[in-house]
Amino acid sequence: MLPTLPISRPLAAPAPAGVPGGAELAPPLLVGEHFVAALSFLVAGGAGLVLCADHLALGAFYVPRVAAVVHLFTIGWITLSIFGALCQFLPVAVGRPLASYAVAHLSFASLSLGASLMVAGLFVGSRPLLLSGAAGLSLAFLTFGGNLAVTLFGAKERGLTFWALVGATAAIFVTPAYGVALALQVHDGGLADPFATIGRHAHVAIIGFVLMVMVGVAHRLMPMFLLVHGVSARPGWAALGLYFTAAVLLALPWGGDRVALVAGVLALAGVGAMVVQAAAYYRHRTRRAIDPGMTLAAAGLVGLVVAAALAPFALSRGVTAPRLLSAYFTVLLGSISLFIAGHYYKIVPFLVWNHRFGPLLGKVKVPKVAELYSERLARADAALLVLGLVTLALGVALGSVAVTRAGAVAFTAGALLEVVILARVARTKVATSP
């Protein structure tokens, strides 16, 4: 149990190490609301996997309820997590806080509500709910993208992280266009090839937004978390260029299968470069023991390699091999989820420590960041999440409902356990005395 630490008067928390020029950090409420909502969507997504295990085992990715579960993960969990993390770490990444916190609250509300409405619309088959959700999501992406663009325009530090976020910002504006087209297709049949649109929509979002943010943020956070110095960033730059080019090619409304093939090859090379960069961080770390958070992040990177190996077979066969295609997306989204879940174990305790114990540093004895949660319990959680994803993917690939549901249950249990652990961290308090 953590000690209760007395404090006689409020003190200003020092800026965390690595924040250039003591740049302003985001209000805890802004980051907290993103993370709480994102974790709620993660648990809801896990429950959705359990409910839809029979459809997943058949490879029925086109069923609206499966699409609803996919959006619980892609928008509710992954995107909200990224938005929240960027709100907090832009001062570290580019030396400048987010341009407008008010707009960030608006984009948060629009994204949360829009995702909820879209998921509800897909589950019950309601066109008004579906289109209302699509409108809310479009507003969220446009407002957050504009906010991020204004922030980056005034940034002084323009290294790898800056350019990764510039590319991701462009993808933020492109992604809703495909999303709205798909929302219309569900009811109106307005697209000649809906599955091609689904593929482009998914991969523009994942490659152009998610993976580029992962490259840029990991460039700053992984060396800090692993205590790494002097590692070349060339593989990271290569990954950035490859991802950006692939996303641009996929976003173009022409070119057909040939352009998509070139984009796919570039994206696969980008995954390879990103993993090489991450492996260099792990190999040259000063901190020899790998904590649960970085263990989960490493598992996510391994999963991305597996997804990259599956991609050529799954995407070339497409709807003729629905279980393989479903297994590919399961591994891809699940691996990204593991990577993000691992960073929650680093970011949330750090934020709580900085807010609650930072003012006491040098005044009284304070716990270390890692002491805010049980490492043993966190390792059990990491094992549950990884086991759940592996079992889920195998169940989908084999077409076994029982194995798929068992994997979904294990993954959901891991998600719930992470929520419990992080909730206990967030409730850590310092007693005050007059």
User: How large a percentage of the chain has pLDDT more than 90?
Assistant: 61
Query: Computed from CA positions of residues 398, 402, 406, 408, in that sequence, does the dihedral angle turn out positive or negative?
Result: positive
pLDDT tier, 202 (very low <50, low <70, confident <90, very high otherwise): confident
- What is the residue-averaged pLDDT of the chain? 86
Average pLDDT over residues 251-270: 85
What dihedral do alpha carbons 258, 259, 260, 265 form, nearest 10°?
A: 90
**Cα–Cα distance for residue pair 304/146, rounded to 1 Å:** 30
Burial 174-212 (b: 16+ CB within 10 A, else e): bbbebbbbbbbbbeeeeeeeeeebbbbbbbbbbbbbbbb
Please say if the pLDDT value at position 211 is more than 70.
yes
Please say if the pLDDT value at position 319 is more than 70.
yes
pLDDT at 255: 67
362: helix, coil or strand? coil
Helix orientation angle between 212-226 and 256-283, rounded to the nearest 10 degrees: 0
Give which of 389, 382, 339, 298 is closest to 46, Cα–Cα: 389
**Cα–Cα distance for residue pair 6/14, rounded to 1 Å:** 18
pLDDT at 45: 96
Please say if the pLDDT value at position 280 is more than 90.
yes
Residues 6 or more apart whose CB falls under 8 angstroms from that of 1 comprise none
pLDDT tier, 14 (very low <50, low <70, confident <90, very high otherwise): very low
10 Å CB burial of residue 90 (0-12, 13-18, 19+) is: buried
Please say if the pLDDT value at position 433 is more than 50.
no
Structure tokens at 299: 């598992």
**Cα–Cα distance for residue pair 427/279, rounded to 1 Å:** 34
Phi, psi of 7 (to 5 degrees): -140, 130
User: What is the distance between the terminal CA atoms of the chain, rounded to a whole angstrom?
Assistant: 24
Helix ranges (H only) for 227-321 are 234-251, 256-283, 292-317
Degrees to nearest 5, angle at CA 243 with 184 and 241: 140
**Cα–Cα distance for residue pair 185/67, rounded to 1 Å:** 13
Average pLDDT over residues 180-187: 56
Better-predicted residue by pLDDT, 81 or 315? 81
Weakest-pLDDT range from 3-12, 137-146, 395-404, 422-431 = 3-12
Structure tokens at 338: 């593991």
- Amino acid at site 311: A
- Amino acid at site 331: V
Question: pLDDT for 38-80, tens place per residue?
Answer: 999 999 999 999 999 999 999 888 788 999 999 999 999 999 9
Calculate the CA 315 to chain-centre distance.
Answer: 23
Please say if the pLDDT value at position 335 is more than 90.
yes
Please say if the pLDDT value at position 8 is more than 60.
no
pTM score of the predicted model = 0.89
pLDDT tier, 195 (very low <50, low <70, confident <90, very high otherwise): low
- 110 close to 136: Cβ distance less than 8 angstroms: yes
Please say if the pLDDT value at position 183 is more than 60.
no
